[in-house]
Structure 1
Amino acid sequence: MAYPEIPGAQHAAPPNVPTKEFFDTKGLDYETTYGHNAGLLKAIDKLTALLRPGCRVLDLGCGTGRPVAHTLAARGFRVHGVDFSETMVELSRSAAPSGVFEQAHYLEWAPFPPIAAEESQDPKQQKFGGIVVSSSFYELSREQMETLVSRWRDWLEPGGFVLLVMVGAEDVPATKPDMYDADGRFARGIPFRFMGDDCFLYLFTRAGWRALLEEKGGLSVREQWTEAFVPPSEADCDGEVNSFLIAESAK
């Protein structure tokens, strides 16, 4: 299946955005800081209660594999993870040995063309029962995010579920009115302290994340909620208000 090119997919990341090299050096430090997020663990519980038992789940931007891939694999789901950091992929393989993990940027990655499971023995050619995206996309433009999410229509099986865990632009204290797009759904260049570095985020608002899933992904949002996460002081990170969304594809 030929997909439309994602705008700017080959372009370098904007200035002051954490890069592949940044994450290659942060591996276990990242896991120590973010691998035990109580709100995320509760969200995984909600998701796994909805998923078809044993289905294939895509962990897009899998990081170290904890807690998402590790928890899903332990509960009998077939995990397929993708991350642009070699260090993160290796950690994911250790966290969930039964999973399949690839090093690739999610702007450039796509599964094999989805076909009916009974037509192929290759698990890569089966659709996903679920997709999890947790704390990724922050360096992408609005247009890149919209094009990427639109592809999920082809990747999800009927009645499949997406768990999206992000930060809403309005929930970052440094977000200013002049950072928003004209429709108020997206803000650019938001200052944020992340693991000892000063960087800039590109974020939808809470309503914008919902609209992204519904309008571009063709998904029906079943539940949306927020929960604060405070990293340990030694991590040198700003606190977050995580926005959780669980959405379903058409049956």
Structure 2
Amino acid sequence: MDFNDILPAYDRVADHWAATRNRTLFERGALSAALDGQTGAAVLDLGCGAGLPIARWFTDQGCAVTGVDGSKRMLDLFRGNLPDARAVLADMRGLSLGQRFDVIVAWDSFFHLSREAQRAMFPVFKAHVAPGARLVLTTGPGDSEAMGRVGEEPVIHASLSPDAYRALFAAHGFEVLWFRPDDAEFHGHSVWLAQRSGGIA
């Protein structure tokens, strides 16, 4: 298993993943903080999976959601669950939609990229954010690489150090609003909330 095996693995387990995905919306605190009271926000969900519960929550708030996933089966499920949302079959690495968003979410997806690919995602984030846009990102709590499982499929995770992420955010014009490692409210996830500066450079 390496990082290039992730998308085929999720294609194979998409139905199992969708059936067993936690839908209690323990993520709500981070999603609400990202939305920050906006109405009609344009939201980019990177690694959207089947769209439940995160993309559905945003659509319920009146947001215009674009879901991006590199797994065709996942995106088929997303379209079935959110027929009015935009669905894009694409690998987030090198994504270029020609649109800027008010919120970007990469929950339990970004950490499936290699360390090098994670670093290369920051220009992608920057290219897709409007002034003042917020970004929610889950990573590991520290520099690490580990194996996990989704259904019967092994999956790999990687993370940089918090200092490395802070440097990347700063270099690409984001202010870190908070980082909550291994947070109990988020069921042990390590979650970043960052905001793009007012101008686009």
TM normalised by structure 2 equals: 0.84
CA RMSD of aligned residues (A): 2.5
Q: Deviations over 1:56-92 (max 9, x none)?
A: 1111111111111111111111101110011111111
Cross-structure match for 1:176: none
Correspondences of 1:92-103 after superposition (within 5 Å): 92-103=78-89
Partner amino acid, structure 1, of 2:16: D
- Give distance in 2, aligned partners of 1:36 and 1:100: 21
2:39/2:63 contact within 8 Å kept:
yes
Whole-Å Cα distance in 2 between the matches of residues 43 and 200 of structure 1?
Answer: 24
Superposition misfits of 4+ residues, deviation over 4 angstroms:
none
Offset, 1:28: 3.3
- Distance (whole Å) between structure 2 residues aligned to residue 207 and residue 37 of structure 1: 31
The residue identity in structure 2 corresponding to 1:28 is D
Matched, 1:23 2:10: yes
Aligned partner of 1:168 among 134, 141, 159:
141
Return 5+ residue gaps in structure 1 as ranges: 1-13, 113-124, 170-185, 231-239
Secondary structure of 1:31's partner? helix
Partner of 1:179: none
1:196 equivalent in structure 2: 152
Separation in 1, partners of 2:38, 2:82: 19
> CA shift at 1:30, angstroms?
1.4
Distance in 1, matches of 2:2 and 2:25, equals 31
Query: What are the superposed Cα offsets for residues 154-193 of structure 1, whole Å, 9 maximum, x if unpaired?
Result: 2211111111123324xxxxxxxxxxxxxxxx334x2334
Which is greater in Rg?
1
Q: Does 1:34 align with 2:21?
A: yes
Residue identity opposite 1:196 in structure 2? E
Count of paired positions: 197
Q: Give the counterpart letter for 2:30 in structure 1.
A: A
Aligned partner of 2:174 in structure 1 is 219
Contact kept in structure 2, 1:17 and 1:201, CA below 8 Å: no
Please state if 1:243 is matched with 2:190: yes
Task: Give, in whole Å, the separation in 2 of the partners of 1:109 and 1:95.
Answer: 23
Would the aligned equivalents of 2:9 and 2:155 in 1 still touch at CA under 8 Å? no
Q: Distance in 2 between matches of 1:157 and 1:55?
A: 11
Q: CA deviation at 1:147?
A: 1.7
Whether the aligned pair in 2 keeps the contact of 1:219 and 1:249 (CA below 8 Å) is yes
- Name the aligned partner's letter for residue 137 of structure 2: L
Q: Percent identity?
A: 24
**Offset, 1:34:** 3.0
Residue of structure 1 aligned with 2:144, choices 187, 200, 207: 187
1:141–1:202 CA contact under 8 A, matched in 2: yes
Report how far residue 55 of structure 1 moved. 1.9
Residue identity in the other structure for 1:223: W
Aligned to 1:60: 46
What does residue range 93-172 of structure 1 map to in structure 2 within 5 Å? 93-112=79-98, 125=99, 127-169=100-142
Could you tell me the TM-score, scaled by structure 1's length? 0.69
Deviation readout 1:1-39 (Å, 9 max, x if unpaired): xxxxxxxxxxxxx63775322212222321343342543
Q: Is the 8 A contact 2:94 2:121 kept in 1?
A: no
